[in-house]
Amino acid sequence: MGLFNYNIEKYSPKQLVILPLVILAVSVILLALNMATTGMPVTPGIDFSGGTAVTIFSTDTKEQLQSTFAGYPLDDISEGVNDGYFLKFGAMDDTEFRSLSALIYQKFPDARVDQIGETFGKTLQSQAVLALIFSFIGMSIVVFLSFRTFVPSGAVVLSAFADIVMTAAVMNIVGIPLSLGTLAALLMLIGYSVDSDILLTNRVLKRQGKLNDKLAGAFHTGIIMTSTTFAAITAMFIVAWFGSVLILIEIAAVLLIGLVFDVMNTWLTNVGILKWYVLKGGGK
Amino acid sequence: MNKKELKALLTDWRVATLIILVVLSVIAINPHFDEQGNLTTNLQYGLDLQQGAWIQLEFQAEVVGFTTDRPLEEFLTDLSRNLDVEVVQVDSNHLEIRKYYSQADLEQVFIAAGGKITSYQPGVSKTTAEDVKRILENKINTLGTKDAKVNTLTGLNNVARYIRVELAGVDMKQAQEIVGKQGKFEIRIQTTGNQTEHVLSGETITSVQVPSQEPPGSDKWGVSFTLSDSGATAFRAAAIKYGATADPANHNLIMLLDNTTVYSAPLSEDLAGKLQSEDIRQLFASTGTGKYGSQQATNLEIHLRAGALPVDVTIAGSGGVTAPLGERYKMTAILAGICALIAVGFVIYYRYREPVIVLPMVLINASEIVILLGFISLVNFQMDLPTIAGLIAVLGTGIDQLVIITDEILHEGKVPSPNLYLKRLSRALGIIVVAAATVVIAMLPLVLMDLQALRGFAIITILGVLVGVLITRPAYGRIIMQILSK
């Protein structure tokens, strides 16, 4: 595989982990800042905060649409391809919502409208946070049970944690809200990210041979795994983009961001810690 | 590969299981041409892949824990009177208040009645939620809408706060009309002048007959319905109390649906007389003569049948997808799946450069999706967009694990002896099992929690992982050994 020429043996454990640690620290700070200003580490979408999401197809310009919906609390318009538009509205009472949906269906017959009440969103929000925490704890338990040594297991869990945190930080930066879809993607990421970590740890701890050979072998396999997943999700992203299917676009985008960080966290963070652990005499 | 080897391969239990499952799945999916010559399958689609609308209702009620030193009966009567609302006992220390009150308001009323609130949760008990579900289903069926699903979202502590109605084939406006009207049915009696008093609510109506003529064969239409025992007693008591039995002409019986009068007429002389002496369970509401009377009778029948929801509801969320958009989403999703599979194929080819390895990998990957789709059609699971995202995610993890197996076996580029092969295969499977376990555990909270749409995604992902670990990976291990030993 000639795409990546990455020589793990060249670097010391300290050199390996420094970059991801800095990024992790920055990400945590960004999430904390967001938490301080909005009350949630990741900006919640309408699934969690309430509001109305509308997908329409129209040849109108953004400005024309803005004037069409001038009487309603239009928060945001984003443009897709093929004349697709994604609109977001703030809270409305029932009468206002009914008049809005009547207007939408009259002007744009093949629209999609989803309206979530604020209280329901709040109920989901707390469940979402719980789901993330339970998932993470569950994953950690499985990892610890399978390796039964603290440092390697901790490295896997830390890498997964870093994946989620960094991805969440980037979601804030590029403006992907936390929706039911992106929550699912974050949970999926927990699964994806440990895949290559487990492969790496397994190869290094349970195989015979020279450390650097084992690392290179694991990298060879691991990077192809991530590439295939990346290819599958990229395909989904592009098709969903052309079809203007917002939920698939968001899921794919979060997975792609996460996979990039996963490469870094597996082959810098996890490798770094594991190398330090083996050089110190552990794992023999 | 000669015939003998091929036969050995196909009769290997791992490979045979895979093939049998794929065949069964294709039968379950049942791709066929319908009468119009369009290709269809047994797969069922959720609301975002076909025309449909959903509405989520929030119960205007709460379940509170309470304590009181007073006799329970008296306490409940006082509470119900002070709050002017129905209070239902859920269990020995929980009450359901069938109207929205804030915790602070309720606390005061409870103290005044000689009790104390120990907990407060918006929503209704599971039993009430089930009642509402049944009533809504009946109502939707009466209105002739097909393909309706009503689900209560029961949280922790068995308190349900929301109920979700999904209607396929209708747009959001229709759905709002069907469900948004709560069908709160009430019978009141005229006391003096324009004053009326509450007599019964819809729950006391136990059965409703189809519109009929009374006397039979005449042109006078009406609907007869039956009250429960307690309803009949209450009805008689009210009729006597307000003087409707003595003077029916000045005491109309009024039926209201959502506070709109749907029926108002005096008791018949005959009925008034009978009510003086006994409870009457079988009542007949006459609606008039001719076509108008018949039409009114049909409407009244629907109102009576629709019954009342015991609790008021408000719309907490709604949405809908129109037919062309649903079609577009479906096409996009199918295309995304196919493109993902092709993309995976290219990357794998780039890595191994061996069609004999790439082809089985991609086929195994595709077979996993086929088996999952077969399962989905078998259990009538509704595919929606998150489920499809889950399928594509399964595609991604699936191929990952095939790569692990292949690389583990091809370690150092040498084709291993059968013994070493088995050792390496089991080591690869070991890695896979751990990875699979983490995915299953990570998805489990979504299956157990009521995060709606995500449940489908989580179930499919978990199933996909299980199908992979139990069926397709072992089969792949067997097939790749055959191929590599060439």
- For chain A, domains (ranges, CATH) are 8-45+119-279 (1.20.1640.10), 51-116 (3.30.70.260)
- Over 90: is that where the pLDDT of A7 sits? no
Cβ distance B431 to A116 less than 8 Å, yes or no, reads: no
Q: What is the pLDDT of residues B213-251, one digit of tens each?
A: 877 778 888 888 888 888 888 888 888 888 888 888 888
Check pLDDT > 70 for residue B308: no
Asked if A51 and A116 touch (Cβ cutoff 8 Å), the reply is yes
Q: What is the rounded CA–CA span in Å between residue B160 and residue B30?
A: 38
Cα separation of A44 and A177, whole Å?
5
Tokens representing B189 are 């009696």
- Using CA atoms, how far apart are residues B405 and B480, in angstroms rounded to an integer? 9
- Token reading at A237: 């992203």
Residue B35 confidence (pLDDT) above 60: yes
Structure confidence by residue, pLDDT tens digits, A65-75: 888 888 888 88
Q: Where in chain B is the domain with CATH 1.20.1640.10?
A: 3-49+323-484
Looking at beta carbons, which residues of chain B come within 8 Å of A112?
48, 319-322, 325
> What pLDDT, on a 0 to 100 scale, did the predictor assign at position A237?
93
The verdict on B265 touching A (C-beta cutoff 8 Å) is no
Q: How confident is the model at residue A1 (pLDDT cuts 50, 70, 90)?
A: very low
Assign A103 a pLDDT band (cuts: 50, 70, 90).
confident
Across the range B301-327, mean pLDDT stands at 75
Residue B63: count other Cβ atoms within 10 Å of its Cβ. Answer: 26
**CB-based burial label for B221 (10 Å; 0-12, 13-18, 19+):** buried
3-state secondary structure of B394: helix
Over residues B165-222, the pLDDT tens digits come to 888 777 777 777 666 555 667 888 888 777 888 888 777 777 777 778 877 778 888 8
The dotted CATH code for B185-316 is 3.30.1360.200
User: Which stretches does DSSP call E strand in B304-445?
Assistant: 313-321, 382-383
B57 and B316 in contact (C-beta within 8 Å)? yes
The fourth-level CATH superfamily of domain B3-49+323-484 is Multidrug efflux transporter AcrB transmembrane domain (1.20.1640.10)
Residues with Cβ within 8 Å of residue A35, at least 6 apart in sequence: A41
Whole-number Å distance between alpha carbons of B352 and B333: 29
Cα of A223 vs its chain's centroid, Å: 19
Q: Note the pLDDT tens digit of each residue in A75-87.
A: 888 887 778 888 8
Mutate: best of B400, B402, B412, B427, partner A, most A CBs <10 A: B400
**β-bridge partners, B402:** none
Q: What pLDDT is attached to residue A154?
A: 93
CA–CA gap between residue B197 and residue B210 (Å, rounded)? 28
ipTM at complex level:
0.84
For residue A167, pLDDT beyond 90: yes
Question: Which chain B residues touch A187 with a CB distance below 8 Å?
Answer: 442-443, 445-446, 458
Over range A235-251, report the average pLDDT: 89
Residue B369 has pLDDT above 80, yes or no: yes
Which pLDDT belongs to residue B142? 61
Q: Which residues on B lie below 8 Å from A142 (Cβ)?
A: 434, 437-438, 441
A-chain CB neighbours of B386 within 8 Å are: 180-181, 184, 247, 251
**Considering the entire predicted model, what is its pTM?**
0.78
Alpha-carbon gap: B284 to the closest alpha carbon of chain A (Å):
37
Contact call for residues B441 and A135 (beta carbons, < 8 A): yes
Of A130-144, A197-211, B255-269, the one with minimum mean pLDDT is: B255-269
Query: What's the mean pLDDT when you consider all of chain B?
Result: 81
A247 touches chain B (CB under 8 A): yes
Taking the Cβ of residue A194 and every Cβ of chain B, the question of whether any pair is shorter than 8 Å is answered with yes
Q: Which of A46-50, B112-116, B127-131, B256-260 has the lowest mean pLDDT?
A: B256-260
Q: Which of A109, A128, A185 is nearest residue B451 as measured by Cβ atoms? A: A128
Answer yes or no: do B318 and A115 touch at CB < 8 A. Answer: yes
Query: Measured between CA atoms, how close is B443 to chain A, in angstroms?
Result: 7
Q: Model confidence at A259, in pLDDT bands (50, 70, 90)?
A: very high
In DSSP notation, B218-276 reads SSEEEEEEEE-HHHHHHHHHHHHHTTTTT-GGGS-EEEEETTEEEEEEPPPHHHHHHHH
In chain B, the percentage of residues whose pLDDT exceeds 70 is: 91
Q: A170 vs chain B: nearest CA distance in angstroms? A: 21
Q: Which whole number is the average pLDDT over B443-459?
A: 78
Q: What is the pLDDT of residues A274-284, one digit of tens each?
A: 989 988 876 55
Supply the Cα-derived Rg of chain A in whole angstroms: 22
Backbone angles phi, psi at B185, to 5 degrees: -100, 140
What is d(CA A225, CA B402) in angstroms, rounded to the nearest whole number?
9
Contact list in A for residue B51 (CB cut-off 8 A) is none
> Which residues on neighbouring strands pair with residue B55, listed in sequence order?
B165, B318
Q: Average pLDDT of A39-44?
A: 83
Judged against a pLDDT cut of 90, whether residue A168 lies above it is answered with yes
Mutate to test the interface with B, among A188, A213, A230, A266 (most CBs of B within 10 A): A188
Of A156-165, B142-151, B371-380, the range with the highest mean pLDDT is A156-165
What is the C-alpha to C-alpha distance for residues A69 and A97, in angstroms, rounded to an integer? Answer: 12
Q: Which candidate in A228, A239, A259 is best for mutational testing of the B interface (most B CBs within 10 A)?
A: A228
Tens of pLDDT, residues B60-109? 889 998 888 888 888 888 887 787 777 888 888 888 888 888 888 888 88
CA dist B298 → B142, B271, B322 (Å): 11, 22, 31
